[in-house]
Amino acid sequence: MSTQEEMRKEFNALYNIMANSNEVAYMHAFGQVHKEMMEWMIQNKPDMAQEWIEKLESIRWKNYLTTKEADTIVNNMVPRPLYNREQWRQNMEQHGLELEREPYYNRCALFATMSMIMSDSGETLKRYVESDKLFKAVYDLAVDKLTDKDGVFRIREYFGL
């Protein structure tokens, strides 16, 4: 039986062979093994499987966060934003606003960006925007950041991830 360290070294060696090769068959072999591993995780550890799926979603988005990352970021904001993630989602639905826009951002990146704008500039915005239009204004500002043509705003870099 191999030790954990020996297994780790062997996995890394095999990964490096695959990653540094142009052999599609190697990528398929890794993909097949990962599919089997993920199926086991979904059946036995669905919470962990969900976290890993969210990390894999990074291939879909220019700006993305996982649920756990977004919640941690928002929970550490000072001053605290007005909404938790569930309240935010309900407000988004009430206003008929788009939660995600491929390839620009996922819902967690939008939630954190809107929360950031409210935390950093909410008091200023309230002086210029009527309260019934504030949520939509913050949404529009967040979408502006997340879809900016020059792509300077990167939510992961901004929050040190």
Mean pLDDT (whole number) for 72-97: 93
Query: Tell me, what amino acid is at 127?
Result: R
pLDDT digits (tens, 9 = 90+) for 13-51: 999 999 999 999 999 999 999 999 999 999 999 999 998
Residue 69 has pLDDT above 80, yes or no: yes
Q: Is the residue at 51 inside a domain?
A: no
State which residues form the domain around 12.
4-44
- Do both 37 and 92 map to the same domain? no
Query: Tell me, what amino acid is at 68?
Result: K
**pTM beyond 0.85, yes or no:** no
- Do both 145 and 71 map to the same domain? yes
Q: Which of 77, 99, 100 is nearest to 89 (CA)?
A: 99
- Do both 103 and 36 map to the same domain? no
Is residue 67 packed enough to be buried (19+ CB in 10 Å), middle (13-18) or exposed (0-12)? middle
Q: Is the residue at 73 inside a domain?
A: yes
The Cα–Cα gap between 84 and 154 comes to 22
- Do both 75 and 138 map to the same domain? yes
Query: Tell me, what amino acid is at 81?
Result: P
Q: Is the residue at 58 inside a domain?
A: no
The total number of structural domains in the chain stands at 2
